[in-house]
Amino acid sequence: YIYFALQTVQHNAYHEDPYAREFGIKISDRLASVEARVLPAPWLKYHDNGRERDCLPRIGQWNMMNKKMVNGGIVNNWTCINFARNVQESVACDFCHELALMCQTSGMVFSIEPVLHPLSAKPDQVERALKALYHDARSILQPQGKELDLLIVILPDNNGSLYGDLKRICETELGLISQCCLTKHVSRMNRQQYLANVALKINVKVGGRNTVLMDALSGCIPLVSDRPTIIFGADVTHPHPGEDSSPSIAAVVASQDWPETTKYAGLVSAQAHRQELIQDLFKVWQDPQRGTITGGMIRELLISFKRATGQKPQRIIFYRDGVSEGQFYQVLLYELDAIRKACASLEPNYQPPVTFIVVQKRHHTRLFASNLKDQRSFDKNGNILPGTVVDSKICHPTEFDFYLCSHAGIQGTSRPAHYHVLWDENKFTADALQTLTNNLCYTYARCTRSVSIVPPAYYAHLAAFRARFYMEPETSDDGSIASGAPVRPLPALKENIKKVMFYC
């Protein structure tokens, strides 16, 4: 990458450009040299019953060997449905049995036997099959006062709209937690690593925690551990070019535990096509019977934090993804105002201090280790080390921003995330916010690697992507999508789904 970049500069001969010379602009044929620090990886806590109770990640990764989830979820009642014609019943049963054993080994309470024998169904009858299975399971469990905790789903590798239809029905109609597995993974012989990864996803979907920061448990995270703090992530995903009338989808997630700050509940909302400002953060409407009603995603998540922890947040940290620099202050003014109104609607004079941070990954800045002779300054792929942070020279001279490469690149050149602090009433030092952001990147639930953007922003992106499956296309009489029509709201998530990390 460096070679091609330098080749381009030499080929284009910018230093000989007459217009640049006329304005006194000199273009160097070398990359800019900047100072960087490498933040240490945080210690992670696992369950005391495992052979290894804690772990220090090495170059942005670790594994679950000899470790148990710090809080294993409970799955007493589960079953399986198989939509793949080429997966035999015996193979499906063996796979589910192995998955149940892996969940147990990883630290979950997981019943080995399903409530119902695995069922085979045709992909074109997904709704009928799911509702029949749900009815059968309820008829067994409801008299005992129990619910179906998990549905394991085996899908064909090329399943078209089946995955989206299944998630929409499970999450907005039936209130079922589901875990989908593709045929290629179910059929392969050596699948222990795959099963271990699936167990991580199942655990957080049923309300468990895979790991937590040791600093969180010992109360030493600056400006988080000292008082109840809620961490939000927000993102808006827009339809693909050509989908001129499809709505944009906004998603907001928020931590529901303190001091661990590892579990994130999520809410989603449809809004006008290509609208970047999140419209449903706070809203007020009139009801004929009940009068003025206040609501919105921020208010609902603040209430659920209070229910989960028994305390109201005294500090708000808001990571906002997907905003271009031209919209920074438009988004800040609108969304900070919505946060303020949501807080005030809960209690007069309730105004916890807010830190509002924009996360950007779509930029063209790349960082490289300058000393290629020192093997300790880069990873096996030649990328800068996880935890590398730059906050001078290539950053804004007066504003609070920094580049953080929090992950180990798997392929190609690592792209650092660019964090802009637009508003900071919590008075973070640069070091404290950089350390918090880097440490949070090691708490992402779906893998045992640090990730490239802070998990709440990542989760919001996943939730928004999931919600696109909930939409039913609005068509006019001639079959085209109706333009100018009001945005149809998304079907509501079931209450039990809202509380867990369903989007993982």
What is the SS3 assignment for 481? strand
CATH 3.30.420.10 domain residues, the chain:
212-498
State residue 414's pLDDT score.
85
pLDDT attached to residue 476: 41
Q: What is the pLDDT of residues 150-166, one digit of tens each?
A: 999 999 999 889 999 99
Count of Cβ atoms closer than 10 Å to residue 190 Cβ = 6
State what percent of residues in the chain have pLDDT above 70.
Answer: 95
pLDDT confidence of residue 304: 97
For the cut 80, the answer to whether the pLDDT of residue 378 exceeds it is no
Distance in Å from the first CA to the final CA of the chain:
33
User: Token pair for residue 37?
Assistant: 């620090």
Answer left, alpha or beta for residue 53, where phi above 0 means left and psi between -120 and 50 means alpha.
alpha
Residue owning tokens 């004079």: 349
Which pLDDT belongs to residue 2? Answer: 65
CATH number of 212-498: 3.30.420.10
Q: Report whether pLDDT(31) > 90.
A: no
Write out the H or E segment, with its range, that includes residue 439.
Answer: helix 430-440
Instruction: Yes or no: say if 271 and 248 are a contact pair by the CB < 8 Å rule.
Output: yes
- Does residue 239 have a pLDDT over 60? yes
Q: Where are the alpha helices (DSSP H) in 297-373?
A: 297-309, 328-346
Question: What is the 3 state secondary structure string of 185-234?
Answer: HHHCCCCHHHHHHHHHHHHHHCCCECCEEHHHHCCCCCCCCCCCEEEEEE
The pLDDT score that the predictor gives to residue 198 is: 98
Q: What is the C-alpha separation between 227 and 219, in angstroms, rounded?
A: 10
Lowest-pLDDT choice from 115-129, 219-233, 387-401, 427-441: 387-401
- Bridge-based pairing of strands 400-405 and 37-38 is unpaired
Q: Which residue from 333, 318, 343 is spatially nearest to 426, judged by alpha carbons?
A: 318
Cβ(394)–Cβ(354) below 8 Å = no
Q: Identify residue 459 by its one-letter amino acid code.
A: Y
Q: How many degrees, rounded to 5, is the angle at CA 448 between CA 443 and CA 452?
A: 60
In the chain, CATH 3.40.50.2300 sits at: 72-205
Q: Over 90: is that where the pLDDT of 400 sits? A: yes
Residue 281 · residue 338 · CB < 8 Å: yes
Q: Express each pLDDT in 170-208 by its tens digit.
A: 999 999 999 999 999 999 888 999 999 999 999 999 999
Run of H or E including 162:
helix 162-169
Q: What pLDDT score does 364 carry?
A: 81
What is the structure's pLDDT at 477? 44
Report the pLDDT averaged over residues 461-484. Answer: 71
C-alpha span between 151 and 117 (Å, rounded): 12
Q: What's the pLDDT at 372?
A: 62
Q: How confident is the model at residue 462 (pLDDT cuts 50, 70, 90)?
A: very high
pLDDT, position 30: 80
CA dihedral of 241, 243, 246, 248, whole degrees rounded to 10: -10
The pLDDT value recorded for residue 390 is 93
Which of 295, 301, 262 is closest to 501 using CA atoms? 262
> Which residue bears the tokens 């199942």?
202
Contact 70, 45 (CB under 8 A): yes
Strand-pair partners of 213: 44
Model confidence at 479, pLDDT cuts 50, 70, 90, reads very low
pLDDT category of residue 480 using cuts at 50, 70 and 90: very low
- Residue-wise pLDDT tens digits, 273-287: 999 999 999 999 998
Q: Please write the tens of the pLDDT for every residue from 491-501.
A: 999 999 999 99
**Phi/psi at 255 (5° precision):** -65, 145
Check pLDDT > 80 for residue 471. yes
Q: What is the structure's pLDDT at 104?
A: 98
Lowest mean pLDDT among 72-86, 90-104, 395-409, 443-457: 395-409
pLDDT confidence of 244, banded at 50, 70, 90? confident
Place of tokens 């709209």: 161
Pairing of strands 78-82, 119-120: parallel
Q: pLDDT band at 410, cuts 50/70/90?
A: confident
Average pLDDT, the chain: 92
Distance CA 408, CA 382 (A): 10
Q: Is the pLDDT of residue 376 over 70?
A: no
Other CB atoms within a 10 A radius of the CB of residue 268 amount to 26
pLDDT at 228 (0 to 100): 98
Looking at domain 72-205, what is its CATH homologous superfamily?
A: Response regulator (3.40.50.2300)
Token code pair at residue 486: 């009001």
